[in-house]
């Protein structure tokens, strides 16, 4: 039986189709649902094996990026806590990462205390470009297994600067290798060059770059196109294989 992936969207989400397509290509049965369907009880997150919070500008990024979407998710906090604690893969991409941070799911805290934010880029404006990132080989993250040491991913955000609440929060990330993805050339001023972080179990990942936008080699930012599939494929295939 195919693993079931839920791609959760809200008003303003614009990467849900690409994210669902990525999971389908990797062998999952992917469905897209609006957060309101969960709030109404028409969809239950616990019926799925994988959860994705895709990129976009949910609710116009009013107040701050991902904040309104996060408020809605907090109403179903116990359901999401259970899903994460069960070890099922969860990925938040760009706006999805912002949502995970503003719900307190990332960085990991046993009481889900919010220990970071994603703030305005140091440049003071929206950035859309390809950036070099490297993986933390010591990270427990299931999504980054088997990726090259250094590769390129596209970014597209105005509030991507990762800022931990204090030195202790940053120390915890670094010492436990929860900084799963690191900028080689920091585009937004993120503290410690953080591009993505995971939980200690490795099943929960939030990252600002977009792996779903470089799934096939023809989408790649590099000129050398040797293979049909690009690095983005690995993120999604790892999640599907992990469930299987």
Query: Three-class SS of residue 32?
Result: strand
- 231 contacts 209 by C-beta, under 8 angstroms: no
**Residue-level pLDDT at 223:** 52
Per DSSP bridges, beta strands 181-183 and 127-135 are antiparallel
- 91 contacts 52 by C-beta, under 8 angstroms: yes
State the virtual CA torsion across 130, 155, 7, 35 in degrees, nearest 10.
-170
Number of structural domains in the chain: 1
**Residue-level pLDDT at 53:** 98
Active site members:
94, 210, 212
Sheet holding 127-135, edge to edge: 29-34, 4-9, 50-53, 90-93, 204-207, 194-198, 181-183, 127-135, 150-157
Question: Which residues span the domain enclosing 139?
Answer: 4-243
**Residue-level pLDDT at 226:** 60
- Count H helices and E strands in the chain, helices first: 7, 11
**Residue-level pLDDT at 219:** 81
Q: Could you give phi then psi for residue 231, rounded to 5 degrees?
A: -65, -30
User: For residue 206, which of 39, 84, 40 has the smallest C-alpha distance?
Assistant: 84
**Residue-level pLDDT at 224:** 55
Q: Rounded distance, CA 13 to CA 94, Å?
A: 11
User: For residue 7, which of 78, 63, 64, 58 has the smallest C-alpha distance?
Assistant: 58
The reported pTM is 0.95
Q: Which helix (H) or strand (E) holds 17?
A: helix 16-25
User: For residue 83, which of 54, 45, 113 has the smallest C-alpha distance?
Assistant: 45
- 83 contacts 90 by C-beta, under 8 angstroms: yes
**Residue-level pLDDT at 183:** 98
- 86 contacts 56 by C-beta, under 8 angstroms: no
DSSP letter for each residue of 116-128: EEEE--TTSS-EE
Per-residue pLDDT of the chain (244 residues; tens, 9 = 90+): 899 999 999 999 999 999 999 999 999 999 999 999 999 999 999 999 999 999 999 999 988 999 999 999 999 999 999 999 999 999 999 999 999 999 999 999 888 889 999 999 999 999 999 999 999 999 999 999 999 999 999 999 999 999 999 999 999 999 999 999 999 999 999 999 999 999 999 999 999 999 999 998 888 765 555 677 889 999 999 999 999 8
CATH of the domain at 75: 3.40.50.880
């Amino acid at each position: 039986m195919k693993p079931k992936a839920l791609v959760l969207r809200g008003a303003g989400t614009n990467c849900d189709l690409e994210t669902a397509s990525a999971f389908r290509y990797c062998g999952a049965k992917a469905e897209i649902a609006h957060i309101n369907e969960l709030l109404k009880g028409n969809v239950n997150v616990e019926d799925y094996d994988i959860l994705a919070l895709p990129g976009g500008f949910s609710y116009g990024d009013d107040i701050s990026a991902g904040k309104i979407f996060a408020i809605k998710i907090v109403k179903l906090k116990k359901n999401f806590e259970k899903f994460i604690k069960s070890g099922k893969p969860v990925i938040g991409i760009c706006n999805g990462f912002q949502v995970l941070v503003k719900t307190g799911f990332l960085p990991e805290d046993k009481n889900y205390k919010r220990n970071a934010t994603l703030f305005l880029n140091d440049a003071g404006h929206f950035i859309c470009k390809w950036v070099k990132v490297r993986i933390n080989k010591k990270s427990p993250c299931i999504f980054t297994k088997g990726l090259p040491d250094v590769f390129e991913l596209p970014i597209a955000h105005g509030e991507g600067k990762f800022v931990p609440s204090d030195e202790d929060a940053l120390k915890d990330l670094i010492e436990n290798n929860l900084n799963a993805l690191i900028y080689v050339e920091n585009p937004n001023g993120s503290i410690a060059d953080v591009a993505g972080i995971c939980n200690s179990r490795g099943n929960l990942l939030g990252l600002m770059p977009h792996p779903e936008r470089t799934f096939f080699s023809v989408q790649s930012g590099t000129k050398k196109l040797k293979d049909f599939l690009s690095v983005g494929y690995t993120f999604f295939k790892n999640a599907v294989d992990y469930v299987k």
